Amino acid sequence: MIDPAAIVARFVEVRARTERLAAPLSAEDQQLQAMASASPTKWHRGHTTWFFETFLLAPHGVPAEHPTWAVLFNSYYESLGPRHTRAERGLLSRPTAAEIGVWRRLVDERVLTLLDRLDGDAWSTVAPIVELGLAHEEQHQELILTDIVAAFARHPARPVYDASFPIPDRHGGAVRWIEHAGGKGTIGAPEGGATFAFDNESPRHDVWLEPFEIADRLVTVGEWTAFAADGGYETPSLWLSDGLELVRAQRLRAPAYTERDGEVVSVFGLSGDRVAHPDEPVIHLSFYEADALATWLGGRLPTEAEWEIAADHLGQRDAVAWQWTRSSYAPYPRYRPSAGAIGEYNGKFMVNQLVLRGGSDCTPPGHTRPTYRNFWYPDTRFQRTGLRLARDPSRGRSS
Ligand SMILES: [Fe+2]
């Protein structure tokens, strides 16, 4: 059932949250782009606004306020025309952060006016677009946070985004293994279900699982420290070939934003520099590091199906770090991207990336669900990426 009042309220709330996240950042901060895969705050604020103008307002006859800005804020939609180079978003000194703020308020008013005038039938086509636009904006809210850390980490003064940003929950101690007998299971979100899900979470379908066990908690900083101290980064037998090549080429010895001095591990994040507790989850690992660490610990990464089947029983399920799985980001059986430009949202990225499950402390509250599929390239380290262990019952019973 579509609840128009709830959708309107959520629209107001999500749009305002983006502005709250940007508020501690000066116009100069909002201009920074640390690397091609991270975007300026200002760009995220503009792009999410462009999304509503393009996919909601324009089809209802409301023209873009600044047609020349489309080339700046179109991210990757080939069917919507040319785009400014992704790696050069930091060069977009104009429009200014203030001008984007004005544009955001204008588009918000126009969307609210449109929604106010919709009749009952029209809601069935409009609601999914608004829901998608809001879920999209929430994804960019997370990126605002991860991308500003990527920029601030390069600043010698180590700027603080928010001194009171919560530090991760600690959950050390012995792993509790959740056992699953295997057999037929069902994963994914039903198409046209009552709650929003991205198209990549559907169709819901059957999977076959071998018996497995999955850890109740995430792998910790203390466990990573032991791995590193044991020469984990220099032990080829632990690594996938591409991972070993990356480690050697970039002389990697720690996750991103992380330094180890003996047992003392310092991390940089939204609250600035701090010493990590051994019992907090280790994050900012590439897939390769996560895989090698899992191997060293006597386990393996779970598949996304194992993760989802066990989701209701997992501790730290979706509040601390995204969790690498061993599953390639691929279409589910019978998946078809939507028609038109919106079909470019997820489907065309289904190659060469790995699925992550869960959510992180930068993910907006309520944004994810057990069927949610995040995906990144295996060398990604600037996201808040960690792991939980899985293992096969017949082997690896070392703990
Ligand atoms: Fe986007």
Centroid of ligand 1 to alpha carbon of 344 (angstroms): 11
Report how far ligand 1's centroid is from the alpha carbon of 15 (Å).
Answer: 14
CB-based burial label for 140 (10 Å; 0-12, 13-18, 19+): buried
What tokens does 286 get? 């590439």
Is the pLDDT reported for residue 320 higher than 90? no
- How many A from CA of 47 to the centre of ligand 1? 7
**CA torsion sign, 270 to 271 to 274 to 279?**
negative
pLDDT value of residue 264 = 98
Radius of gyration of the chain (CA): 22
pTM above 0.95, yes or no: yes
Distance 230 CA to ligand 1 centre (A): 41
pLDDT in tens, 365-391: 999 999 999 999 999 999 999 999 999
Residues 267/281, Cβ–Cβ less than 8 Å:
no
> pLDDT value at position 392?
97
How far does residue 184's CA lie from ligand 1's centre (Å)?
Answer: 35
Residue 168 has what pLDDT?
Answer: 86
Query: Which residue is listed with tokens 């993910």?
Result: 363
pLDDT value of residue 172: 83
How confident is the model over 162-214, as pLDDT tens digits?
A: 999 998 888 888 999 999 999 999 999 998 888 999 999 999 999 999 999 99
Q: Which residue has the tokens 């507790």?
A: 277
Q: What is the pLDDT of residue 395?
A: 55
pLDDT band at 312 (very low <50, low <70, confident <90, very high): very high
- Measured in Å, residue 328 CA sits from the centre of ligand 1 at 21
pLDDT at 242 over 80: yes
Question: Residue 29 Cα, ligand 1 centroid: separation in angstroms?
Answer: 20
**CA 135 to ligand 1 center in whole angstroms:** 10
Q: How far is CA 346 from CA 82, 172, 322, 351, in A?
A: 19, 35, 18, 11
* pLDDT above 90: percentage of residues in the chain: 93
List beta partners, residue 356.
Answer: 324, 374
The residue type found at 212 is F
Q: What average pLDDT does the chain have?
A: 96
What confidence tens digit (pLDDT) does each residue in 70-124 have?
999 999 999 999 999 999 999 999 999 999 999 999 999 999 999 999 998 999 9
Sign (positive/negative) of CA torsion 279, 285, 291, 296? negative
Query: Which amino acid is present at 49?
Result: T
> Residue 41: is its pLDDT beyond 60?
yes
Residue 218 and residue 360: Cα distance in Å, rounded?
12
Q: What burial letters (b/e) apply to 148-187, b meaning 16+ CB within 10 Å?
A: bbbbbbeeeeeebbeeeeeebebbeeebebbebeeeebeb
Tokens for 157, please give them.
């003064």
Q: What pLDDT score was predicted for residue 397?
A: 53
In this model, does residue 136 exceed pLDDT 80? yes
